[in-house]
Amino acid sequence: MVSQKRDAAIVGIYEYPKRKAPGVTALQIKAECAARALEDAGLSWGDVDGLYDAQDGAGSAGLGLAEYFGFKPNVIDTTQVGGSSYEFHAAHARRDIAAGKCKVALLTYGSTAHSDARRIGTGGGGGGGYSPGSSSPLSNMTDPWGMTLISNYGMVASRHMYQYGTTSEQLAHISVATRAHAMRNPEAVQAMKDLEFVGINEITVQDVLSSRMVADPLHLLECCMVSDGGGAVVIASPEVARNCKKKPVWIIGSGEATRYSENGSDITISAAAQSGPPAFGEAGITPAEIDIAMIYDSFTITVLVMLEDLGFCKKGEGGAFVGGERLHYKSPLKPVLNTDGGGLSSNHPGMRGIFLLLEAARQLRGESTSQVEGAKLAVAHGNGGMLATSHTGGTIILARD
Amino acid sequence: MAGRPLPRFPEPDTQAFWDATKEHKLTYQVCAKGHIVFFARAHCPTCGSREMTVKESKGEGTVYSYSVVRLNRHPAFAALGPYAVAYVDLDEGFRVLTNLAGLADPVNEAKIGARVKVRWEDQEGGLSLPMFAPA
Ligand SMILES: [Zn+2]
């Protein structure tokens, strides 16, 4: 039984088409995406009265961003929780709109991670290997150990394998499905060309297992790309949404959580175990009803853990759940996974959360390059931070009319 | 092993922990209500108590999980070859992030559930890093 609450809807979307964008800045990407998402909605620049930002434009968070854009918003929310920021923003925008604080909320993202040659995954920096800037208790306890971002997720995968008998073969199915979807998405294909992927084609489980081990037990083809990119989402009140160009995609449930390793904790359980149930509860639906699962695929293990924690299968049974072609967009079984090609094969400039909302909205509008016929319900689950140490989870449930 | 990124001070929460490593002492805290606390803080994250007692661990525990890093461009780690980052659960009930030591071939020898014991690796400047080798 789908909740009848219709507080706010996604009415405008835009994904920056390039994944390699030398010579532009994150702020320029954000502004261009804002203009095009407003155009998609049939709204004007001056309509924006709520600004949500993850502080990704240089020097321009709450204080500078409105001025750069030229907005005078009534709501400014600069929640920064890494890759899950945009799910948090969508939840907050809906709440603020329902409270009458604003009518047209704008979420933007811009990043030049690829052109900056930022070593997100394997360098000392950014991945819990070394924290530049001022010291903190966490950085002091983490920095000496050379824990790269990928090895952080590798520790979750190792433990999941130990505890539940999960295999690399099973995890590989996640890469196989997302690549199949990416090959149907011209922007993803161009991305793989621009980022000089070795083989731009559909892949097999064996291809994944044969790719180089980066941090045991994660292989290269289980790791997301590092791209440039960005996007924008416009969320509006029901009154505004009724007059927009495109059909509204309603936000009907949300949940937010954080989780961290502590004495005796189980690192195979993510924040999704806390953020999922209130989101589904508020929406009045069960995971079994979801058509489209847009799950943050920084690595294969991220998806596996979150499918379990969101309740698509029991804890520990994710390996068997993702087998075969179950996650493929043509699968007779629900839900299908990351139909845009995901962070693994389409777009990952560092904080992928906004793309989860974008592709979920495309599916519910009927605009995906791997369209699921009659898709009615989608979940977007973003993950921020690092899975084995501390991270955040934001769950958004979306419905079409 | 010069060149690893090391803790930086002033940082009042973890200063005493790192000072104790100079004498090869692995310390943790217990609050007034008996909650085990790690990493070191001025308050207990379970109950909010600010009455914290420092204790010394025997340095024996079990590997909770690990990952062998094959690629790290940071010069101090690039030189190591494959090395294992791990969580070790100490017998006193606290969990540390660490590296596994004393394994000729970490890819094949690192094991979850293995019993390990602290092995100190002294750093330039006097601090020592608590790593864990097979018990
Ligand atoms: Zn306590």
- Cα B51 to averaged position of ligand 1 atoms, centre (Å): 9
CB–CB of B64/B42 below 8 Å? no
Per-domain boundaries in chain A: 9-115+226-400
Task: Report CA A285 to chain centroid distance, whole Å.
Answer: 21
Residues B8, A119: C-beta atoms closer than 8 Å: no
* Residue with tokens 């980066």, as numbered in its chain: A214
CB–CB of A43/A9 below 8 Å? no
Q: What is the DSSP string of A187-219?
A: HHHHHHHHTT-S--S---HHHHHHSPEEETTEE
Percent of chain A past pLDDT 70, that is, above it, reads 95
Q: Rounded CA gap, A96 and A205, in Å? A: 45
Percent of chain B past pLDDT 70, that is, above it, reads 99
Question: Is the previous residue joined to A280 through a cis bond, with omega within 30 degrees of 0?
Answer: no
CATH superfamily of A9-115+226-400: Thiolase/Chalcone synthase (3.40.47.10)
Residues B112, A162: C-beta atoms closer than 8 Å: yes
Per-domain boundaries in chain B: 9-56, 59-135
- Residue B75 burial (C-beta neighbours within 10 Å; 0-12, 13-18, 19+): exposed
Q: What is the CA radius of gyration of chain A?
A: 19
Residues A119, B11: C-beta atoms closer than 8 Å: no
The pLDDT of residue A126 is: 37
CB–CB of A362/A380 below 8 Å? no
Mean pLDDT of A131-155: 90
- pLDDT tens digits, one per residue of B101-123: 999 999 999 999 999 999 999 99
Nearest to B69 by CA among A220, A298, A214: A214
CB–CB of A142/A131 below 8 Å? yes
Is the CB of A148 inside 8 Å of chain B's CB atoms? yes
Chain B nearest CA to A218, separation (Å): 9
- pLDDT tens digits, one per residue of A225-255: 999 999 999 999 999 999 999 999 999 999 9
The pLDDT of residue A125 is: 40
CATH architecture of B59-135: Beta Barrel (2.40)
Is the CB of A136 inside 8 Å of chain B's CB atoms? yes
**ipTM of this predicted complex?**
0.97
Q: Rounded CA gap, A249 and A257, in Å? A: 24
Reported as a pLDDT band with limits 50, 70 and 90, residue B71 is: confident
- Residue A343 burial (C-beta neighbours within 10 Å; 0-12, 13-18, 19+): buried
